[in-house]
Structure 1
Amino acid sequence: MSVSTEHSQTMYRRQVLGMPVALLWGFVAVACFMVGDGIEQAFLSKYIVQLGFTLTQSALVFTVYGITVAVAAWLSGVFADTWGPRRTMVIGFIIWVIFDVGFLTLGLSTKNYPMMLVMYGLRGFGYPLFCYGFIVWIAYVSPKHKLSSAMGWFWFMYSIGIGVIGSYLPSFTIPHIGFLGTLWIAVGWILVGGLMGVFLIRDKFDIKETDLPLKEKVRELLSGILIVKERPRIITAGIVKIINQLSMYGLPIIFPIYFTSKIGFTTSQWLQIWGDMFLVNMFMNVVWGFIGDKIGWHRQVMWFGCVGTAVTTLLFYYVPLFAGKDYWLTVFVAILYGVSLAAFVPMSAIIPSIAPDRKGAAMSIHNLASGISNFAAPAIVAGLLPFFNIQGVVWTFAVIYVIGAVLSYFLKVDQKAVSEDSPEMRTDSAVSYNN
């Protein structure tokens, strides 16, 4: 893969607060794309139940989707390196539109459960190819000393899309056009974001077809898994990374039913509560990055991430149960949950620092673990609901976070050596929804 020397030098100069100017529309495209992809996150499970399916069946839909997301997240770098970031983004864009329309028309509209599983599952290949393909573009265009800032901008825009607008917007549209109408609005956001990414990004990225064939790149990617034998601690770090996002992907499956049917909030109120959580979480990623550099990465993950999220997950469930329909008190505990969830941000620095000589392979484990969370969380919900109620599922997540705290104790790294050797791995700019 090559970028002309003149072009590289130009891109080194054209930075605004760490953002490559030539990729500006790409960042905007990611935000729009993730609005469309995330708009259903906090209400789709409730809608599927309202169509007559069980909560367990709803969780299985998310589980199948999570499997394809994990696979696509793992392979996106190989595809971007082989076909180029723009082409990879186009493929992700097309996949998302085709299979989402299929999901809405052949699945939800006809209440055809097998088609819901197939279409929503295949749609899961879309957003990782689009968004993670763009990450590769950022990595090649950005100067090394500005890379973490550029990545921070990516995750900031990603979070605005999926977490903030994607949560608030349906709270206003559902009362007027319903669940299905809101899901069709998502297609519009995807079209806007996808077309921006395809046509408006000014950078002309040059890929040499003779670089490496796909077969060799896939073999290279698979060889990265061998790092778990060379550095066994990466397995521990990968497990903690999976634990990081379990409740974030699991609670939106059970909480829409819990908060609207049990507590008495409207769907719009629940969506705004979830959006408030994400809004605070987005900014706390930055704050926790600075704190982690001061108090120690593994210590922060262990106490504030794992233990903190275990406690706040339970508070998120029990406070509304005992206090009743108190909107602002519920918002408060949701914010506490978002704050503790953001404390996991140093994991993006811990994992590559365990293998500083093989950061690429280490980050492939990081991305794979992030993807696994997408299906592990709904799989836990689907597996437990037939035997336990929502309360039992919440307690399971809390216990898993406590286990994560024990594992985090073994993730001590030499932060000073990592920071001095590789500035791009510093957590003070590791702003990430996928923290």
Structure 2
Amino acid sequence: MQSDKNWFGLPKSLFWGYVAVAIFMSGDGFEMAFLSKHITDLGFSPAESALVFTLYGGAAALAAWSSGVVAEIITPQRAMRIGFLLWVSMHILFLTMGLGMKNYPLMLLFYGIRGLAYPLFIYSFVMLVVQTVPKHQLSSAMGWFWAMYSIGIGCIGSYLPSFTIPFMGETGTLWFAIAWVVAGGLMAMLLLRKVGQPSEKAHLSTREKMTELSRAVTILFTNRNIFLACLIRIINTLSLFGFAVIMPMLFVGRLGFTMSEWLQIWAVFFFVTIFTNVMWGILGEYIGWIRQVRWFGCLGCALSSLAFYYLPVTFGHNYWVAMIPAVMLGITVAAFVPMTAVFPVLEPKHKGAAISIYNLSAGLSNFLAPAIASMVLPFFDIKGVVWTYTALYLFAGVLTLIIRVEQPARVTQKSQTKRWTSVATANNKS
């Protein structure tokens, strides 16, 4: 473990790693707003464009699931280097031989393989944080990670292309993304080389490493608390991924908001999470990880989800009223930040496998949120989807009463201080 020195929960020894994640994810996020349309503009059908992203998402989910264990058995720095080099090489091949030659099979191949890259880079950094930061500071450290992630993919990655596309076009913007990813990747390679100590898992034999890799699956069945934490993490971002699908139907389709107004409302939600990720990461060390998740995350998201539907329905096309639930959700969804710290604490001997399950939970949330919406919508409309998410948040709150997490919180430090004080007092009296 490194020194406890930090800036408001941001570990000084990992500072440049956080910056590298923000820069890397900025370049990775450039294409989000326009690549699907760019592919159809080249003459491919919407279904063909969708398949490109489906393969990419599947590869990203696989990489996210395995990245924790992979980083632990080959070291996080090496795993980040592989993710960085894989991203750059596959992106160049995708642009030249895929999009450039309008070769659909090669587009599928290279973009699909590139989907393995970003989770390997950023989630290997999560493993480095877990290995480096003292347990009682993990919550605030992970709050900063998600804030940097939001700055990269949610802010810079979303807004910068609106300026570069008129200037250099969509193809030029896709090439420009490489500069950002290279900057973030080189920063990580050069400035994180001497950070942390390799896990003992890095010295295992090949056979033992394969056994450790399998724990990314078996740990779900051997550790009940990990399984419960997995369910809570899946429920965490249901509204985030689900509302992106159903709320445009409500706001734009029924209440008269313009698409620009809806996008601005949704952008406010992401902007708020930049600050609340850090805030809740720090507060979780004082409030208690699970207590915060229960009352501010689960109950808070349940209320915010209902507000996201009932406030605009009640007040109609009122832009400022519609901003209220966006801010509420931005505050409450970030209260789940300590869950990143919970997983490795629940399985201290196999932290890589625990982080892999956390990543799997995040991927399943991304998949299940729109899946739930598609199943409920035909029968109970948008209101039914909102109430389904709300019920699941309340269910997650019940799960927090069952899960057992021995948090190495600041409360423990205070009790130690009191004990030392009492011992010193007794010695002085004697």
TM > 0.5 between the two?
Answer: yes
The answer (yes or no) to whether the contact 2:230–2:357 under 8 Å persists in 1 is yes
2:305 corresponds in structure 1 to 310
2:215 corresponds in structure 1 to 223
Going from structure 1 to structure 2, the CA distance change for 1:421 and 1:193 (only over 3 Å counts) comes to closer
In 1: Cα distance, 2:33 partner to 2:78 partner: 31
In 2: Cα distance, 1:164 partner to 1:51 partner: 27
2:359 corresponds in structure 1 to 367
Displacement of 1:286 in angstroms is 4.1
Going from structure 1 to structure 2, the CA distance change for 1:304 and 1:59 (only over 3 Å counts) comes to farther
The answer (yes or no) to whether the contact 2:344–2:354 under 8 Å persists in 1 is yes
Q: What SS does the corresponding residue of 1:216 show, helix, strand or coil?
A: helix
1:298 aligns with 2:294: yes
The answer (yes or no) to whether the contact 1:314–1:394 under 8 Å persists in 2 is yes
The answer (yes or no) to whether the contact 2:344–2:350 under 8 Å persists in 1 is yes
1:74 corresponds in structure 2 to 65
The answer (yes or no) to whether the contact 1:313–1:394 under 8 Å persists in 2 is no
Q: What SS does the corresponding residue of 1:156 show, helix, strand or coil?
A: helix
For 2:213, give the aligned amino acid: L
In 1: Cα distance, 2:245 partner to 2:98 partner: 18
* Larger mean Cα displacement after TM superposition, 146-155 or 95-104: 146-155
1:39 corresponds in structure 2 to 30
1:411 aligns with 2:400: yes
Candidates 118, 126, 141, aligned match of 1:135: 126
Q: What are the ranges of 5 or more consecutive residues in structure 1 without an aligned counterpart?
A: 1-7, 425-435
The answer (yes or no) to whether the contact 1:309–1:398 under 8 Å persists in 2 is no
Q: State the Cα deviation string for residues 287-306 of structure 1 (Å, max 9, x = none).
A: 4453864965324333212x
Q: Larger helix proportion, structure 1 or 2?
A: 2
Candidates 99, 112, 115, aligned match of 1:121: 112
In 1: Cα distance, 2:132 partner to 2:246 partner: 41
CA RMSD in angstroms comes to: 4.4
Displacement of 1:121 in angstroms is 2.5
1:429 corresponds in structure 2 to none
For 1:36, give the aligned amino acid: G
Going from structure 1 to structure 2, the CA distance change for 1:409 and 1:56 (only over 3 Å counts) comes to farther
Displacement of 1:379 in angstroms is 6.0
* Larger mean Cα displacement after TM superposition, 292-301 or 190-199: 292-301
For 1:239, give the aligned amino acid: L
The answer (yes or no) to whether the contact 1:26–1:196 under 8 Å persists in 2 is yes
Q: State the Cα deviation string for residues 276-329 of structure 1 (Å, max 9, x = none).
A: 221112222344453864965324333212x23532554698689x51xx6555
Alignment map for 1:176-191 (pairs within 5 Å): 176-191=167-182
Q: What SS does the corresponding residue of 1:411 show, helix, strand or coil?
A: helix
Going from structure 1 to structure 2, the CA distance change for 1:254 and 1:106 (only over 3 Å counts) comes to farther
For 1:280, give the aligned amino acid: V
For 2:276, give the aligned amino acid: M
Alignment map for 1:214-253 (pairs within 5 Å): 214-223=206-215, 225-232=217-224, 234-249=226-241, 252=244
In 2: Cα distance, 1:337 partner to 1:95 partner: 35
Displacement of 1:212 in angstroms is 0.8
Displacement of 1:129 in angstroms is 1.3
The answer (yes or no) to whether the contact 1:42–1:256 under 8 Å persists in 2 is no
For 1:368, give the aligned amino acid: L
In 2: Cα distance, 1:88 partner to 1:274 partner: 33
In 2: Cα distance, 1:272 partner to 1:420 partner: 38
The count of aligned residue pairs is 407
2:89 corresponds in structure 1 to 98
Q: Normalization by structure 2: what TM-score?
A: 0.74
Q: What SS does the corresponding residue of 1:133 show, helix, strand or coil?
A: helix
For 1:399, give the aligned amino acid: T
In 2: Cα distance, 1:143 partner to 1:77 partner: 18
Q: What SS does the corresponding residue of 1:12 show, helix, strand or coil?
A: coil
1:198 aligns with 2:194: no
In 2: Cα distance, 1:255 partner to 1:127 partner: 28
Identity %: 42
Going from structure 1 to structure 2, the CA distance change for 1:354 and 1:275 (only over 3 Å counts) comes to same
Q: State the Cα deviation string for residues 333-369 of structure 1 (Å, max 9, x = none).
A: 4333323322333434565676688766544422221
2:420 corresponds in structure 1 to none
Displacement of 1:416 in angstroms is 9.1
The answer (yes or no) to whether the contact 2:27–2:157 under 8 Å persists in 1 is yes
Going from structure 1 to structure 2, the CA distance change for 1:417 and 1:367 (only over 3 Å counts) comes to same
Q: What are the ranges of 5 or more consecutive residues in structure 2 without an aligned counterpart?
A: 414-430
Which of 1 and 2 has greater Rg? 2
Going from structure 1 to structure 2, the CA distance change for 1:19 and 1:183 (only over 3 Å counts) comes to same
In 2: Cα distance, 1:15 partner to 1:194 partner: 23
Going from structure 1 to structure 2, the CA distance change for 1:196 and 1:357 (only over 3 Å counts) comes to closer
For 2:205, give the aligned amino acid: P
In 2: Cα distance, 1:313 partner to 1:45 partner: 28
In 2: Cα distance, 1:411 partner to 1:179 partner: 46
2:271 corresponds in structure 1 to 279
The answer (yes or no) to whether the contact 1:68–1:125 under 8 Å persists in 2 is yes
For 1:310, give the aligned amino acid: S
1:428 corresponds in structure 2 to none
* Larger mean Cα displacement after TM superposition, 37-46 or 67-76: 37-46
* Larger mean Cα displacement after TM superposition, 151-160 or 370-379: 370-379
1:347 aligns with 2:339: yes
Candidates 141, 144, 163, aligned match of 1:153: 144
In 2: Cα distance, 1:319 partner to 1:175 partner: 39
1:213 corresponds in structure 2 to 205
The answer (yes or no) to whether the contact 2:164–2:173 under 8 Å persists in 1 is yes
Going from structure 1 to structure 2, the CA distance change for 1:27 and 1:179 (only over 3 Å counts) comes to same
Displacement of 1:235 in angstroms is 3.1
The answer (yes or no) to whether the contact 2:59–2:115 under 8 Å persists in 1 is yes
Q: Normalization by structure 1: what TM-score?
A: 0.73
The answer (yes or no) to whether the contact 1:64–1:375 under 8 Å persists in 2 is no
Going from structure 1 to structure 2, the CA distance change for 1:284 and 1:54 (only over 3 Å counts) comes to farther
Q: State the Cα deviation string for residues 7-65 of structure 1 (Å, max 9, x = none).
A: x7xx5276555544443322211110011122334554555566676766655544432
The answer (yes or no) to whether the contact 1:168–1:272 under 8 Å persists in 2 is no
2:77 corresponds in structure 1 to 86
In 1: Cα distance, 2:357 partner to 2:407 partner: 18
For 1:308, give the aligned amino acid: L
Displacement of 1:247 in angstroms is 4.2
